[in-house]
Amino acid sequence: MESKLGLNLELVEKARASAKRVAEDTQNFIDQHTTVTVERAVCRLLGIDGVNEMDVPMPNVLVDHLLAVGVLPMGAAWTIGNAMLETGLDPQGVAEAIDRGELDLSKVPAHDDAAVREAVAPYVKATIERINTNVAGRNDFLKEFGDKEGAYLYVIVATGNIYEDITQAKAAAKQGADIIAVIRTTGQSLLDYVPYGATTEGFGGTYATQENFRLMREALDEVGREQGRYIRLCNYCSGLCMPEIAAMGALERLDVMLNDALYGILFRDINMQRTIVDQYFSRVINGYAGVIINTGEDNYLTTDDAVTSAHTVLASQFLNEAFAKSAGMREEQMGLGHAFEMDPEVENAFVMELAQAQMAREIFPKAPLKYMPPTKFMTGNVFRGHIQDALFNMVTVLTGQKLHLLGMMTEAIHTPFMSDRALAIENAQYIFRTMKDLGSELIYKEDGIIRNRANEVLTKATDLLVEIEQLGLFTTIEKGIFADVKRPKDGGKGLNGVVVKDEKHFNPFIEEMKGKVAAE
């Protein structure tokens, strides 16, 4: 892509190199540790499912046992495979025997490591084949109907009831939506387990469960065939169960997942050591399953100022890119986030928003950037709100954003009605149609506001990344450099679920998935 901003490409490379070194330094920590949810994700991918009579998910039953008897460092794959050799049970049978109190994995005699790997290999292969089939199904759908050029119109449903969500999602798809995001119920990111089955009660959203994923995927495929378009499904794998929910998404063919390296630390007070380890495996899974990840830089601007702190958004985008590459993801799957969140009372705010968006597009040319609508300065005045959303839509079409989360004129009033979504879609379609090629017609003058703003932000982001490289990621977060939020390295939720790996530990799914995409 031709640079309209005259960006200093040496600074871009310097920033990217600093981010890469931060990610490499952090990867040393990741490679030495595992967590309870990483091991639960391994359990799920080995076929362990369901709940016990107390409604505790069976992956939790098994991993809680590993933690209690002191063998979690060996990992789920090794301990399950070892127990399979000793008992003749399959992975589900091992979990059920533990639940009945009939099996203590710390007392099972150790078998040969090669035999342990061989025991779990058929279950690994079956899951890989299932994910391959899912990705092939998506590819067949896109081959039959083609894919949309330009921005995907991305809307949310958030009723709390999966069946009502399906009704609203189908309506949105018929109105023109390309991506349906099912918002999670408030607080699910802080649950250290994944609820089971279809759910009909949630607050501000609907529980992310594998059955809910299956039901919505089925519904969107149905309406997609009616409409002659592939409708993408999005959910959230942030929080204390990042890799588990990524695994569920891979098993049920989700297409987009919220997945940020830092979001849970900054905005949910989840321990940084836990999150950094969890995000890695979740991204390995998402990468293999062909999922586009959405990162959460837009959230920085809800707690910090979008004019003065824009460089922290860019710095985080570089870091999220580097961490995603460390997990083997392709740039085409990195929905790096940013947002239209400047105070509308600020002079030339739109001009600076345009500069920020164009800068992101030029620095990350292959990434399907996720652009978020105005929310912080929505007032409840629906007429002004509709205009703010229209300006946001204009920036998207002028700068070539890809995942365009539609603003709602009733933001700050209530969860959107179906009619609100229809108006938002109509607004975006009108602007995208009438301004389709306007971006390619425009150039930005040398030494003008737009060019100067973009290069100022890039310079500050590069300086910040050099500082982060010197400090290390954990110290950077402790200092509150991102989103003006400070978190201690040994504080927050979930630290007791982090352990140093034993030499016997192995994760067959990282070995099979990293750096690859299913069905390709």
**Closest CA relative to residue 58, chosen from 70, 37, 44:** 44
User: How many whole angstroms separate alpha carbon 330 and alpha carbon 324?
Assistant: 8
User: How many whole angstroms separate alpha carbon 78 and alpha carbon 101?
Assistant: 20
From 263, 280, 300, 444, active-site residue? 263
| CB of 245 closer than 8 Å to CB of 208 | yes
| CB of 44 closer than 8 Å to CB of 88 | no
For the question of residue 370 being annotated catalytic, the response is yes
Return the number of other C-beta atoms located less than 10 Å from residue 295's C-beta: 28
What are the C-alpha distances in Å from 322 to residues 16, 261, 398, 513? 8, 10, 27, 18
Element (H, E) at 179: strand 179-182
Return the number of other C-beta atoms located less than 10 Å from residue 490's C-beta: 10
For the question of residue 99 being annotated catalytic, the response is no
Question: Which residues are CB-contacts of 513 (< 8 A; sequence separation ≥ 6)?
Answer: 128, 284, 285, 287, 288, 328
- Give SS3 for 249: helix
Return the number of other C-beta atoms located less than 10 Å from residue 43's C-beta: 27
From 64, 99, 192, 298, active-site residue? 298
**Closest CA relative to residue 353, chosen from 427, 454, 483:** 454
What are the C-alpha distances in Å from 464 to residues 22, 64, 119, 140, 310? 12, 40, 48, 44, 12
CA torsion 408→410→411→417, rounded to 10°?
-70
What are the C-alpha distances in Å from 328 to residues 73, 235, 490? 24, 21, 28
- The C-alpha angle 114, 120, 122, rounded to 5 degrees, equals 115
Take residue 472 and report the two structure tokens written for it: 């290390």
User: How many whole angstroms separate alpha carbon 213 and alpha carbon 358?
Assistant: 34
For the question of residue 236 being annotated catalytic, the response is no
In Å, the largest CA–CA distance within the chain is 74
| Pairing mode of beta strands 33-35, 498-500 | antiparallel
From 370, 402, 493, 514, active-site residue? 370
Supply the residues annotated as catalytic. Answer: 263, 298, 370
